[in-house]
Amino acid sequence: MSAAAIVRGRAWVGDTALFAPVDLELGTTGWTCLLGPSGVGKSTILRLIAGLETGARFEGRVETNRPVALMAQDPGLIGWLDVTGNVTLGARLRGENPDPARAETLIKAVGLADRAHHLPSNLSGGQRQRVALARTLFEDRPLVLLDEPFSALDARTRAQMQDLSAHLLDGRTVLLVTHDPAEAARLGDRIVLLREDGLTEWSVPTRRPDAAARPYDAPEVLALQADLMRGMMA
Ligand SMILES: Nc1ncnc2c1ncn2[C@@H]1O[C@H](COP(=O)(O)OP(=O)(O)OP(=O)(O)O)[C@@H](O)[C@H]1O
């Protein structure tokens, strides 16, 4: 299997079809942005790839051939661990000795250096989301699934975290679920829209620079954003 992940099939919740047959193949590198209306099944696709329980019945084929990190919508932080403890949780659960310097660098990179020893209850929603992002980046996996990872962030911080993620996840396979056409226009090497009738591949006219998000104010990015918005409104 040359792809990093494959999802082929359809899903039901109870007797109701969630989406028509989908055929999604993720390459060995690059960002695929998945957009679509609320409740259509985007998180379900991520959870299927991650091998986790979903609320849906899936008939088809799911394959992955590399270690996965999933950042779910809910940051899922452990309340009695501080920021550093949460960022290094996965490594510690696996019985590894997490590299403190790497954790510190990532915590600084997400703008939380002065919060490293705070508990989640003392953080804002956006700060908690950045802890979850740092934890996902700390996992250092070749296949990374991000479910609305920047949704709680202000516009400036969101752009900064998009830049950081594009840089740190360069060369990985990333599947990003987002509701934000501007985000997809900055980050997508591929953009796919999921609707009840299945997946539609969106044309992405410009190549994304290596290890960088597209500039948020570039005319071609604004045009792609508008085009996506029109597609989502249709
Ligand atoms: N644990 C569950 N049990 C039953 N139904 C569920 C469960 N989780 C999700 N669903 C249903 O499955 C459908 C798809 O949910 P999913 O979270 O995949 O949608 P989504 O496209 O990611 O939505 P959003 O953009 O709002 O996050 C929804 O109708 C939801 O109500």
Q: Residues 47, 61: one domain?
A: yes
CA dist 144 → 15, 140, 187 (Å)? 31, 9, 14
Tell me, rounded to whole angstroms, the distance of Cα 76 from its chain centroid: 15
Q: Residues 135, 151: one domain?
A: no
Into how many domains does the chain fold? Answer: 2
Q: Residues 153, 234: one domain?
A: yes
Enclosing domain of residue 129: 73-140
From the alpha carbon of 194, which atom of ligand 1 is closest?
21
Domain-terminating residue out of 86, 120, 140: 140
Give me the CATH number covering residue 158. 3.40.50.300
Whether residue 38 has its Cβ less than 6 Å from ligand 1: yes
Residue type at 24 in one-letter notation? L
Q: Residues 57, 149: one domain?
A: yes
Q: Residues 230, 154: one domain?
A: yes
Question: Order of strands, edge to edge, in the sheet holding 30-35?
Answer: 68-71, 143-147, 173-177, 30-35, 190-195, 198-202
Q: Residues 61, 151: one domain?
A: yes
**What are 69's two structure tokens?**
């990190």
Whose CA is closest to atom 17 on ligand 1? 43
pTM value is 0.96
Q: Residues 221, 162: one domain?
A: yes
ipTM of the complex: 0.95
Whether residue 40 has its Cβ less than 6 Å from ligand 1: yes
Taking a C-beta distance cutoff of 8 angstroms, is the pair 22, 10 a contact? yes
Separation of CA 23 and ligand 1 centre (Å): 19
Q: Residues 18, 129: one domain?
A: no
Tens place of pLDDT for every residue, the chain, 234 residues?
689 999 999 999 999 989 889 999 999 999 999 999 999 999 999 999 999 999 899 999 999 989 999 999 999 999 999 999 999 999 999 999 999 999 999 999 999 999 999 999 999 999 999 999 999 999 999 999 999 999 999 999 999 999 999 999 999 999 999 999 999 999 999 999 999 889 999 999 899 999 999 999 999 999 999 999 999 998
Whether residue 121 has its Cβ less than 6 Å from ligand 1: no
Q: Residues 62, 112: one domain?
A: no
Separation of CA 145 and ligand 1 centre (Å): 16
Q: Residues 62, 148: one domain?
A: yes
Whose CA is closest to atom 8 on ligand 1? 55
Cα 15 to Cα 49: distance, rounded to the nearest angstrom:
23
Q: Residues 61, 149: one domain?
A: yes
Taking a C-beta distance cutoff of 8 angstroms, is the pair 98, 49 a contact? no
Q: Residues 171, 58: one domain?
A: yes
**What are 155's two structure tokens?**
């516009």
